[in-house]
């Protein structure tokens, strides 16, 4: 599957908020969103009033970029959410939050979701004792996510990430054991666990047209 290879900070500026795509840089004054809080490009500082469709589209693009998915995959997540019992928007966010690369980011094993995706691709993570190399792997309640046994260099990298993210609040839906470099999924994530201003109903309205 293809992936975005451009400058991550341009995506944050386009959405007008921090999407936390660059790890530690997002928490420093070097963050481009703080320096230039307007969209990139020569027309970025022009004031443009968005239509209802434009507002819905920007919300969808924002969530796609937060979780690092492309349109076809995001559409599949929505289709699955639409068939589940419950509020469609919340079911969509629940699926995205349960991605393995996102779990690694949430518990501090990775500084960003991109780094978490790389760790999974390098087969450095196990789920219930089995190595997983699919970043979009969906964890379930009771799953044990752990750093795979390997070289000291691999373990050192994870510990370095934990040290740099120690001030980041841990998710309430995951139990983390930093000493053993593992975590256990305790419950399904809720919208309040995300901690980002996401209006998922706008995405539902966009796809329902």
Q: Alpha carbon of 24 to those of 31, 59, 156, 164, 176: distances in Å?
A: 9, 24, 17, 8, 21
Cβ-count burial of 189 within 10 angstroms (0-12 exposed, 13-18 middle, 19+ buried)? buried
Angle of helix 200-207 relative to helix 52-67, nearest 10 degrees, comes to 110
**Same domain membership, residue 114 and residue 168:** yes
CATH number, domain at 77?
Answer: 1.10.1050.10
- Whether residue 75 is contained in a domain is answered as yes
Number of domains in the chain: 2
In a domain, 14, yes or no: yes
Residue 1: the pLDDT is 43
- Are 24 and 46 members of one domain? yes
Question: Full-prediction pTM beyond 0.85?
Answer: no
Domain that holds residue 143: 99-187
- Tell me the average pLDDT across 114-128: 91
- Say if residue 69 is in the same domain as residue 104: no
**Residue at 154 is within a domain:** yes
Torsion of CA 183, 184, 185, 191, to 10 degrees: -40
Residue pLDDT, tens place only, 129-168: 999 999 999 999 999 999 888 756 677 777 788 887 777 7
CA-based nearest residue to 143, from 91, 182, 194: 182
């Amino acid at each position: 599957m293809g992936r975005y290879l451009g400058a991550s900070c341009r995506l944050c500026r386009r959405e007008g908020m921090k999407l936390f795509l660059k790890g530690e840089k997002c928490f420093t004054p070097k963050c481009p969103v703080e320096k230039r809080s307007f969209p990139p490009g020569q027309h970025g500082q022009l004031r443009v009033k968005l239509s209802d469709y434009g507002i819905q589209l920007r919300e969808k693009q924002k969530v796609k970029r937060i979780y690092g998915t492309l349109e076809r995959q995001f559409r599949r997540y929505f289709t699955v959410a639409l068939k589940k019992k419950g509020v469609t928007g919340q079911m969509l966010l629940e699926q995205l939050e349960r991605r393995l690369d996102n779990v690694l980011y949430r518990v501090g094993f990775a500084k960003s979701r991109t780094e978490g995706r790389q760790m999974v691709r390098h087969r450095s993570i196990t789920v219930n004792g089995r190595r997983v190399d699919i970043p979009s792997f969906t964890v379930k309640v009771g799953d044990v996510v752990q750093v795979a046994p390997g070289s000291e260099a691999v373990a050192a990298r994870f510990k370095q990430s934990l040290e740099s993210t120690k001030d980041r609040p841990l998710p309430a839906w995951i139990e983390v054991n930093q000493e053993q470099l593992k975590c256990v999924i305790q419950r399904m994530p809720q919208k309040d666990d995300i901690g980002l201003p996401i209006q998922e109903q706008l995405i539902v309205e966009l796809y329902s047209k």
